[in-house]
Amino acid sequence: MHPYEPCADPADLADPADLAYLSATEVRRLFEARELSPVELMRAVIDRAERTEPVVNAFTERLFDKALAQARQAEDRFLGKGGLTPRPLEGIPVATKEKHAIAGRSLTEGSLVHTGTTATENAPVIDRILDAGGIIHARTTTPEFSIATFTHSRLWGVTRNPWNPDLTPGGSSGGAGASLAAGSTLLASASDIGGSTRIPAAFTGTVGFKAPYGRIPGTAPLSADHYRGDGPMARTVDDCVTFANVLAGPDPRDHVSLRPKLVLPAAYDTVAGMRVALCLRLGAYEPHPEIEANTRAVARALADAGAVVEEIELPWTRDDLLVSLAAHFSTIFGALVSEVAARHRDRMSAYAVAFADTMAEARERVSYLDGLRVETRLQRELAEAMAPFDVLLCPTTAVPGLPAGDDLLGRLVVNGEDHGEPLWAAMTAPFNINNRCPVLNVPSGHSSWGVPTGVQIVGHTYDDPTVFRVGKALEQLRPWSYGPRRRPLLGTSPASPASPSS
């Protein structure tokens, strides 16, 4: 439960794994200085993937040969050949979530039901990555239909946390978080409808941004669901800023995508003088003692840096959160899964069937209007509580981890200890209800369970720069760099690829 140690000087790096753990920001500097080739980097990332994937299982598809060819083209741009200028992500390996469609490639969303389905066009985030020069070298795993806080499916098997393979990297962007932590990518695309970006970021010690609704264009029909949105994951705040700037902006395929495009600044003021609301329970959650301790340590660091930190509580209750979530999910996302379950129940994972059944029951008990009545009250209560503050700080999860491969259909039991109902293990869904708020997950430390923990930095509606200002300060105040002394031991040698870190 201590800050991460700083990374070694990149000039001292020799092991290919060290190259794979460089930040995209540092890689760009090295590319421009001609001290590192995109081909050399891609080979290091591929080597790292070959070492870690047998245990981690973060990838659904490897595009390594094509990626190497694209890396050679990126190298030419940095050498000035052909008169082409390097683009924002030129030569950077990016792993993309399988649900982010790539024309001509699989679009199964982790379900046997969709085996053989091929995408007919790119998702908007895929076009943005490719247009910016990013190299998609792999596609990442999700739970079936991206409906869970863990990542395993009948189609792809179990994805494991590189820090402790007995635990999940979270979900639904679990393959994204796992690949970042494993060093098999530098950037990863994600999405978030109830915490699917922030939960994996917390469990893997990475940075994940839930952008406010409309900031980043999505794919129909769920692009019209104001709980969800696509977004960036990375290992550093600077990398997340760069990636967010690539993904943001209007797209005619998504009429709610905001214009004009917001461009996040690259540099930020210190947190001195900022007002931070610390909320440990969000009214309805019971965070594990280690989660609380790490969150308080983050708050102390901000206070020591000159921020004014005040602890508050929200009036939210479990009943109100349940009504809002049940009404919303059962009407939109749950209805989509229920349509599939009505025809292909026998081919679906047990947790996907359970989700469909729960949503069908919810549709009988609460209406969308019921949900809106509660949702708008919850939004007002958050706005009023945050009014005197610049941001709200709270845990991302209530527990330090979740077991890998568990459908979580009963109680959450880890190491023989009962941790309650799995629904309350993550503290993210309230900010999908309040989805005009930007939310940034950054690491808060480690737990005795052998995996990182995270905090959410919640901003006022559409005030993205402020959450990055606080996130950047915390990265400097409590460094979490994936340096040689602070990264998963998984894959450190060919002979012992499965050694977890503690």
- For the chain, what percentages of helix, strand and coil (3-state, to nearest 5) are there? 40, 15, 45
Q: What is the CATH number of the domain that holds 438?
A: 3.90.1300.10
**Considering Cα of 188, then 190, then 196, then 198, what sign does the dihedral take?**
positive
According to DSSP, the β-strands at 229-234 and 207-210 are antiparallel
Does a structural domain hold residue 502? no
Q: Residues 248-284: pLDDT tens digits?
A: 999 999 999 999 999 999 999 999 999 999 999 999 9
Tokens of 197: 């970006």
- Mean pLDDT calculated for residue range 212-231: 97
Tokens of 382: 């958050």
Is the per-residue pLDDT at 4 higher than 90?
A: no
Does a structural domain hold residue 485? no
Q: What is the pLDDT of residue 284?
A: 97
Is the per-residue pLDDT at 496 higher than 90?
A: no
Does a structural domain hold residue 107? yes
According to DSSP, the β-strands at 157-158 and 152-153 are antiparallel
Count of C-beta atoms within a 10 Å radius of residue 145: 25
What's the domain range around 112?
Answer: 10-477
Q: Residues 87-116: pLDDT tens digits?
A: 999 999 999 999 999 999 999 999 999 999
Residue 359 pLDDT class (50, 70, 90 cuts): very high
Q: What's the rounded Cα separation, in Å, for the pair 386 and 391?
A: 7
The DSSP H or E segment spanning 131 is: helix 124-131
**Partners of residue 397 on adjacent β-strands:** 426
Contact 217, 223 (CB under 8 A): yes
Contact 490, 502 (CB under 8 A): no
Q: What is the pLDDT of residue 1?
A: 35
Number of domains in the chain: 1
Does a structural domain hold residue 497? no
251 or 492, greater pLDDT? 251
- pTM of model > 0.85: yes
Contact 13, 40 (CB under 8 A): no
Q: What is the pLDDT of residue 491?
A: 67
The DSSP H or E segment spanning 291 is: helix 289-304
- Mean pLDDT calculated for residue range 426-445: 98
Q: Residues 151-203: pLDDT tens digits?
A: 999 999 999 999 999 999 999 999 999 999 999 999 999 999 999 999 999 99
Does a structural domain hold residue 498? no
Q: What's the rounded Cα separation, in Å, for the pair 24 and 187?
A: 8
- Block residue for tokens 């649900």: 99
Contacts of 289 (CB under 8 A, 6+ apart): none
Q: What is the pLDDT of residue 110?
A: 98
Q: Where in 339-395 does DSSP place strands (E)?
A: 391-395
Q: What's the rounded Cα separation, in Å, for the pair 163 and 500?
A: 5
**Partners of residue 93 on adjacent β-strands:** 135
Q: What's the rounded Cα separation, in Å, for the pair 175 and 56?
A: 9
Does a structural domain hold residue 491? no
The one-character DSSP state at 114 is G
